[in-house]
Structure 1
Amino acid sequence: MSFISVFDVLGPNMIGPSSSHTAGAAKIAYLAQKMITGPLIQVDFTLYGSFARTYRGHGTDRALLGGIMGFTTDDMRIRNSFEIAETEGIAFTFLPDEEETDVHPNTVDIHMVNKAGQEMTVRGESLGGGKVRISRINKVQVDFTGEYSAVIVIQKDRPGVVAHITKALSDRNVNIAFMRLFREGKGNVAYTIVESDGHLPENIREELLKNEHVHDVMIVQP
């Protein structure tokens, strides 16, 4: 169960007007862009629920675009994110989807394409008070908040991979706060998400990639 304090209700430092529709949206996009190597050339946002109905009036579109360029929730550049994105050569679209109802009311799918042609889709949910949850990476259901430093390992679902991940982290004195495995199915693509209390060492990605079944590693620092 997720609890929200009075400080969460008041919301974080942010460009308004809404902690759910602007700060939360910016944070989702900020986390999403951390998962793919830049620079981005195309970003498509599919909005659901109240995001789809009010994204223009609440500035959700500006916040999402600002977050995808690495702007934090209180960055004044969010107000001019459309113009900045055009200057940076980032093509973008916003597609409201009011037909899909089996989602959290404040949900967005972010499809990203980088200059190298790599594509990734991330689904995020804005939970209120600026808190968010990443619930899907590509076609795999996941669950993490971005409140902690996280390492996301894309791997083949094979014995020994998780042991390799934990050993690499332990050897570098990384304290594991949460660790979860998500997979498409037995023996298919899996995502191991490890969240840590402290800052992750810069060389951890290279160490994790030494296992033949590890396809990619993403480091997401708050």
Structure 2
Amino acid sequence: MKYKSVFDIIGPVMIGPSSSHTAGAARIGRVARNLFGREPGWIDVSFYGSFAKTYKGHATDVAIIGGIMDFDTFDERIKDSIKIAKEKNIKVTFKEEDAVPEHPNTARVSIGDDSGSLELVGISIGGGKIEITELNGFKLRLSGHNPAILVVHDDRYGAIAGVSNILAKYQINIGQMEVSRKEKGKMALMTIEVDHTIEDVILQEIGALPNITQVARIAE
């Protein structure tokens, strides 16, 4: 079920005009920022479908940059986010893609600096709700509306069980869990949405497990 209540359809408290094209875009950008963990030095955004046709009129461009700048959906600074980014010498580029996406409100966000980069694909499904469908080439399904952890690991026996056992030890309930891999026996990605915020000590314990290479947290 995509919507739990009428308030999901109405949308969140936000800078308008559209929950799908503005609030949803801001949340896609903020998930990218959350995963990257710092302010990027450059931002490339590709818009597809309806986003590509209307992003200027519906303020999708300023919203998604606002999210990457770590502004919430109701933050007045969203209106000036592109200007703020450029004042910080962050290079910002937008592309209108002709490819037909699976969902009309689709954006591909690439951000980075001299130390690394990140790329994700997000869709805005209405009412400010989003899904992240791809991260650095991994296919996944992440709502961005619940606390979550992403665990990059070697595709080895026991890796999933080890993470699950630590969450059980700290009485963390798993709402949704998905594992994707590009190739058998190579790198894989666990996407785990939970009911409670994950504390640093839990992340550190997961990161110390065999075959775990990276752990990232997404707050609600």
Measured against the shorter chain, the TM-score band is over 0.9
2:108 equivalent to 1:120: no
120-129 or 99-108, which moves further after superposition?
Answer: 99-108
Matching residue's letter, 1:136? E
**Equivalents in 1 of 2:173, 2:198: separation in Å?**
9
Matching residue's letter, 2:176? F
What is the deviation of 1:170?
A: 1.7
20-29 or 36-45, which moves further after superposition?
Answer: 36-45
Alignment of 1:179-194 (within 5 A): 179-194=177-192
**Equivalents in 2 of 1:175, 1:8: separation in Å?**
23
What is the deviation of 1:13?
A: 0.4
Alignment of 1:17-166 (within 5 A): 17-97=17-97, 99-116=98-115, 118-166=116-164
Unpaired segments ≥5 residues, structure 1: none
**Equivalents in 2 of 1:85, 1:56: separation in Å?**
17
SS in 1 for 2:200: coil
SS in 2 for 1:84: helix
Match of 2:167 in 1: 169
**Equivalents in 1 of 2:42, 2:71: separation in Å?**
17
Give yes or no for contact 2:33–2:39 (8 Å, CA) kept in 1: no
Query: What is the aligned residue count?
Result: 220
TM-score where L is the length of structure 2: 0.95
SS in 1 for 2:8: helix
SS in 2 for 1:185: coil
**Equivalents in 1 of 2:166, 2:11: separation in Å?**
37
What is the deviation of 1:154?
A: 0.8
Pairwise CA RMSD: 1.3
Closer, same or farther in 2 for the Cα pair 1:102/1:87, shift >3 Å? closer
TM-score where L is the length of structure 1: 0.94
